[in-house]
Chain A
Amino acid sequence: MPKPGLRMNLLEVRHLKVHFPVRRGRFHRVTGHIKAVDDVSFGLLAGETLGVVGESGCGKTSLGRAVVRLLKPTVGQVVFEGEDLAAMGGAALRSRRRQFQMIFQDPQGSLDPRMTVEDIVGEALDLHRLAPDGRARRARIEALLQAVGLRPEHARRYPHEFSGGQRQRIGIARALAVEPKLVVCDEPVSALDVSVQAQIVNLLRDLQDDRKLAYLFIAHDLAVVEHLSRRILVMYLGRVVETGEARSLVRMPKHPYTQALVAAVPVLDPESNRRRSLLPGEMPSPLSPPVGCSFHPRCPMAEARCRTEPPALREITPGHRVACHLA
């Protein structure tokens, strides 16, 4: 039960784990597990944005997919409006799908090239029986296209007739067709040019204000994430290494990995004297994660304790949690 006076979370993820079995040899025996998501917990209020940042292989995409149940979590709970989606299946899950949608990175790959925009957006309406007749369907599609900045005549066209930014708008219209409360955005702007990226980021913002959407915004670009998010979750090798309010996390990162991510963002201002600090090496294979703190082989500050003892995610100031022995 929520505490009195506190708003209840729209989404609450508790101790979520997504493990993939690794099969080897002639009989495809399971020889190990990749812990793509390893004990991640967070809450998300209605109308709020939580940014998830990390490099390739950190588990951010698996996390997003597990939340919208495109993947079945191995362990843990995904509580959406008080119901645990992780334990649900079949018709029960299908009837809830309207509430949470996803926007993908590659608008080219996520739109069927043989369907018109009208079909793509309308399919979602049909599946959830949201348009009683053809006229209502057309009117809704037109309103959706307008909301994402496309023109009504675009409804008859095919995905290949659009630019990358426009295709992403189609993907957004499809996600919004069923009036979801939560949208998981998986790198929605990283394939786009800078000028178009800004358009889509602003569009996502406006839609959130109009429709009180909650976003789980997954991206590798810390600057974009900061622009959209109230809070940020930083992931490394399947685990949360730091989480907190967006501005303070970006201005005063506490975990050495977050510090490196902040330092790695290129600065345009030629007067800035900030030296890009180089983080040595690369993220280790998730098949054999390092013992102790998983970041210690790359960490400039690692001590003996970091090599043996995994750090717990501790609250260091209200709302700001860090998984580092030295923070």
Chain B
Amino acid sequence: MPLLEIKDLTVEFKAGGETTRAVDGVTLSVSAGEAVCLAGESGCGKTVTALSVTRLVPTPPAHYPTGQILLDGREVLRLSRRELRQIRGGVVGYVFQEPAGALNPVRRVGDQIRESVRWHRPEAATEAEVIRLLRLVGISGPEVRARDYPHALSGGMQQRVMIAMAIAARPNLLVADEPTTALDVTLQAQILDLLRELKRQFRMSLLLITHHLGVVREIADRVAVMYVGQIVELGPARELLQRPLHPYTRALKAAVPRLGAGAPRLTSIPGTVLGQGAGDPGCRFRSRCAWARADCAMRAPELAEVEPGRLVRCPYWNQPPPEWNAEARAAYESP
């Protein structure tokens, strides 16, 4: 049985009489020791999905019309506040994009880490444990650093402190929301290395949220690509990156600038992300899609298993695009 099972999850936000569906029928599982990536661009619902794992999205304004979240056999959407407190940080640890915003600026980092330990393992809340955790996340001179305030640490070190806090209770699942986005490239590689090492050493599961396909390639076993609230493609990371099948994933891959390619133009995806209009049954990507045909406005494409382990939400994934414009060609022939 997988550690985390999300089944047909839908999250809606109500504001000013309007309902926005941020997550629409997402089904996803994470096994023990597995790293799964939720990839997609801003507003695709990847963060809301990840926060829902421990119901961290405030309700109201959010509510869950349908769906089920099974975490270690427990049904998260039915848990009481008290039970939720146990799993937040205890079973699931979180690392966020901006470490500076997530740390308390007026408390020493050692004390903050110790507090995370105290919540879930009160007997272990000692100075020695804090120092052990700091050393584990690769901070040199942990005895000295534990007495620092967050502002005295660089962005990379702050992110390491965040990870130390997240793993303080020895969670089974670490949810990392864009953990490297705010960091410099050479530090990104260091943090990804650390996450990989923690996963290996403790058989920890990872649910990683990123907009960066390069990060997916570095760390993920499987990847789910999201677009406007839905998973449009799901599959093993290596295969999916090598041979993306959904038009959106193909276009996304083609849009990433390659180093040393020296290509004169980048392939862009025309238009911008549009929310799904009420009563619009069609495919959400069709206005930007090189594969789109009249049919795509009529009915909603289903997420179907087209090859073992590979799910695609597009009935035309194995056909060439009808219009051979430059974008379509690049996406289709993308190496």
Decide if A and B are genuine partners: yes
Question: Residues of A at under 8 Å CB distance from B?
Answer: 55-56, 163-166, 193-199, 201-202, 205, 220-224, 226-227, 246-247, 250-251, 260-262, 264-271, 276, 278-279, 282-283
Complex Cα–Cα for A251 and B260 (A)? 6
For residue B19, which residues in chain A have a CB less than 8 angstroms away from its CB?
none
Checking A221, A224, A250, A276 against B189 with a beta-carbon cut-off of 8 angstroms, the contacting residue is A276
- Leading 5 A-B pairs by shortest Cβ distance: A266-B214, A198-B268, A195-B269, A55-B184, A198-B266
Size band of the interface chain B makes with A: 35 or more
Task: Tell me the nearest residue of chain A to B272, going by C-beta.
Answer: A163
Task: Tell me the nearest residue of chain B to A206, going by C-beta.
Answer: B265
Contact across chains for B184 and A250 when beta carbons are under 8 A apart: no
For residue A224, which residues in chain B have a CB less than 8 angstroms away from its CB?
257
For residue A270, which residues in chain B have a CB less than 8 angstroms away from its CB?
217, 237-239, 241-242
Apart from A194-B212, A220-B184, A269-B242, what are 8 other A-B pairs with CB-CB below 8 Å?
Answer: A201-B268, A221-B257, A226-B259, A226-B261, A262-B259, A266-B217, A268-B213, A270-B241
A-contact bits for B175-213, CB 8 A (1 contact / 0 none): 000000000111111100100000000000000000111
Checking B187, B218, B264, B267 against A198 with a beta-carbon cut-off of 8 angstroms, the contacting residue is B267
Task: Tell me the nearest residue of chain A to B219, going by C-beta.
Answer: A266
Complex Cα–Cα for A278 and B192 (A)? 10
Chain A CB within 10 Å — which of B212, B213, B252, B255 has the most?
Answer: B255
Contact across chains for A194 and B272 when beta carbons are under 8 A apart: no
Known: A201-B266, A269-B335, A282-B156. A195 touches B252 (CB 8 A): yes
A contact face: mostly helix, strand, loop, or mixed: helix
Complex Cα–Cα for A227 and B259 (A)? 8
Complex Cα–Cα for A201 and B258 (A)? 13
Can you give 15 contacting A-B residue pairs, CB < 8 Å? Answer: A55-B184, A56-B155, A166-B272, A193-B42, A194-B252, A195-B255, A205-B264, A220-B184, A227-B262, A264-B189, A265-B185, A265-B259, A268-B213, A269-B242, A276-B189
Determine whether B72 belongs to the interface, using a CB cutoff of 8 Å to chain A.
no
Known: A198-B257, A226-B257, A268-B214. A278 touches B266 (CB 8 A): no
Complex Cα–Cα for A269 and B218 (A)? 11
For residue B263, which residues in chain A have a CB less than 8 angstroms away from its CB?
227
Contact across chains for B272 and A266 when beta carbons are under 8 A apart: no
Determine whether B313 belongs to the interface, using a CB cutoff of 8 Å to chain A.
no
For residue B304, which residues in chain A have a CB less than 8 angstroms away from its CB?
none
Known: A193-B41, A266-B212. A199 touches B268 (CB 8 A): yes
